[in-house]
Each structure stands twice: as structure tokens, then as C-alpha cells.
Amino acid sequence: MICGATATGKSGLALALAKRLGSVILSADSRQVYRELDIGTAKPSASQQQEVPHYLIDICDPTETMTLADYQQQAQALIASPPLPEPSPPPPLLVGGTGLYIRSVVQGLKIPRVAPQQELRSQLGALGQAQIYAFLQQVDQDAAEKIHFNDQVRTLRALEVYYVTGCPISQQQGENPPNYPILQIGLECSDSNALTSRIAQRTEQMLAAGLVAEVETLSQKYGWDLPLLDTLGYQEIKQYLAGEVSLSEAKDLIVLHTRQFAKRQRTWFRAYPEIKWFDADNSDLLAQVWQCVQEFIDI
């Protein structure tokens, strides 16, 4: 498994390791699962996907919802039945920056199999956060203690699970770790300026590759209210196309918001001591990680 904040070079390292191992890559990115969102999600190019088979990319339409349970089920199925035909195929590389996706596989999260109930969410949301949080305290005090008073997303999900199943979400959660060993590798930039430079460079590359045109195409096909257009990279270009900011300002906003997002990712991953960390800017990165992989395989 390779994780870390955005723009730390996870994809490049994974590609190099997969070639050496003769393995495949399982994406752990919550937006790369959607078709047509290519540039803004830094999705592996067609040539990279030809070099090494990638899975869990382009598996649903932008108007569909990929739940955590859906992702976990597909990832676990691929791990249980590797797509490579060899008698003893090498283990796949789980690669990405979506913490919950990775945790769902690595720690075997128990996830309530309840699909989003949009009508129920709308009805509850209209009551206001204070009221629905009070409902949650009444039906699932344990969940309420773990969910912040102002966290409407998790409050709605907890109520949704309760009303659909009749059982509190706190009683349906937990972990069922897999019975196979997992090497967890993390990439980070010890120099914050170096990470900012990486983010700025990648943003320039996205714009040069046609990010504006991608947002225009998505908006024309699915409408400006497509939820995915309110995510990182797309939202800022959406503002530019609406005339709210200049393209230069949109670029600066992408860099700023990406830095903030990377900080949150780093905080998330740092909470797990099992991860072995490597400096993304180390010139010997591949050699160091490869040695770690070989030692793990020989155990």
C-alpha cells in the first residue's frame, strides 16, 4: 500500500514498483473512480495504464454515487481474485490519498450496506443541523458522541442508516482486518515549500493539459450543479468560467486549497503508526522503498 498527501509522487513510485514486481495497481482515489474526470483528478494517463494495469479507475459515471461500501467490496474482490493470470501472481499495489478508501481495505472496516437515501436526506436536512443532531442523540447516543455537533454529513449518514435498518450505526461499525500481511508505505515532503512547488507545478500541468475545457465539457453535459464540479480543482475553474475570478486567481486558489487538503491528508495518515514513511524528495527514494519491499517479501 502506498499513501500520502496529494502531489507527493505516489503514482510515479507505484508505477516503478509495479514494473519491478510485475504487479497491478488498485487506485484508492475517491474521484478517479468517475469516468470523464481525468485532468482535474490527476488520473494516470492512457500510456501509464498500458504500462501497468490499473483497476478501480473509471468504474462509474459522474452522476452515480460510489459509496465506501461499494469501493471496499470491489477492492476486496480484486485482492481475493487477482486479475493477473499467473499461478502465483504478485500482490497488487493499493495506491492513493483517500484515507477512508485505504482504511476500508487495510483495516477491514465494517460498513453498513445502506445506499444513499436522497429524499430522506433532503427532508432531514431541511430541519436544520441542530434538530437532526438532537434526533441522533435520541436514537444513537454513541454515534452522537463521536460526531461533531456541526458535522451535517456524518449526522445525516448516521440517521439514514438508523431509519433504513432500524439499528444504530454505532452497532454496525467496527473492523475485520484481512488475514494477509500488508506493507504500508507513506510519502511525504518534509519541506513544506517543496510540496507547495510540487502542487503549483502540477496545477500548471493540469491547466496546460486542458482542465478548463474539461470543466466546460462536464458542465455542458451534466449541468453546473453536478456535485463533482464542487470539488478541488473543478470548483475553482467553475468560478473562473462563471466570471467570479480570473484564470490566474483560479490557479492560485487551486494551489491554496490543495495545500490545505494536503495538510489534512497528512494529519489523517500520521495517525497510523503502521505506515513506514519516506521522503518524497529523496534522490534514492525508489532504491530505499524497493529495499523495504524486498525485506517485507522475504519475511
Instruction: State how many domains the chain has.
Output: 2
CATH number for the domain including 259? 3.40.50.300
Distance CA 102, CA 105 (A): 5
211 and 271 share a domain? yes
- Range 94-102 average pLDDT: 96
Question: Rounded to 10 degrees, what is the CA torsion of 21, 94, 50, 35?
Answer: 180
Report how far apart, in Å, the C-alpha atoms of 259 and of each of 32, 127, 200, 249, 291 are: 19, 34, 10, 15, 30
The radius of gyration of the chain's CA atoms, rounded to the nearest angstrom, is 20
Alpha-carbon distance values, 296 to 22, 181, 251, 262, 293 (Å): 16, 9, 41, 28, 5
Render pLDDT for 157-167 as a digit per residue (tens, 0 to 9). Answer: 999 999 999 99
Indicate whether 44 and 123 sit together in one domain: no
Q: C-alpha angle with apex 40: 35 to 45, nearest 5 degrees?
A: 65
Within this chain, do residues 88 and 208 fall inside the same structural domain, yes or no?
Answer: yes
Question: To which residue does cell 527514494 refer?
Answer: 285
With H, G, I as helix, E, B as strand and everything else as coil, classify residue 94.
strand
Q: Identify residue 226 by its one-letter amino acid code.
A: L
Are 291 and 196 found together in one domain?
yes
CATH number reported for the structural domain that contains residue 145 in this entry: 1.10.20.140
Q: Which of 46, 104, 52, 45 is nearest to 79 (CA)?
A: 104
CA angle at residue 274 from 190 to 32, to 5 degrees?
A: 70
From 171, 190, 212, the end of a domain falls on 171
Q: What's the pLDDT tens digit per position in 187-239?
A: 999 888 999 999 999 999 999 999 999 999 999 999 999 999 999 999 999 99
C-alpha cell at 168: 444504530
Between strands 2-4 and 54-55, the pairing is: unpaired
Provide the pLDDT confidence category of residue 297 given band limits of 50, 70 and 90.
confident
For residues 91 and 136, membership in a common domain is answered with no
pLDDT over threshold 90, residue 113: no
Asked if 243 and 290 sit in the same domain, the reply is yes
Q: Residue 116 has what pLDDT?
A: 83
Beta bridge partners of 93: 25
Of 71-80, 113-122, 276-285, which gets the smallest average pLDDT? Answer: 113-122
Nearest alpha-carbon partner for 28 in 78, 83, 84, 85: 78
What distance in Å separates the CA atoms of residue 288 and residue 165, rounded to the nearest whole number? 48
Helices (H), 4-93: 10-21, 46-51, 68-80
Strand partners, 188: 279
Alpha carbon distance 90, 79 (integer Å) = 10
User: CA-CA distance, 157 to 113, in Å (whole number)?
Assistant: 12
- Residues 196 and 276 placed together within one structural domain of the fold: yes
Query: How far is the C-alpha of 101 from the C-alpha of 253, rounded, in Å?
Result: 26
Separation between Cα atoms, residue 294 and residue 181, nearest integer Å: 14
Shared domain for 166 and 236, answered yes or no, is: no
Alpha-helical (H) ranges within 223-273 are 234-241, 247-269
Judge if 259 and 281 occupy the same domain.
yes
Q: Does residue 84 carry a pLDDT above 80?
A: no
- Kindly state whether residues 136 and 279 are assigned to the same domain: no
pTM beyond cutoff 0.95 = no
For the chain, the distance separating the N- and C-terminal CA atoms, rounded to the nearest angstrom, is: 17
Range(s) of the domain holding residue 140: 118-171
The pLDDT tens digits for 29-44 are 999 999 999 999 999 9
Residues 262 and 150 in one domain: no
Whether residue 24 contacts residue 92, with contact meaning beta carbons closer than 8 Å, is answered with: yes
**In this structure, are 185 and 127 located in the same domain?**
no
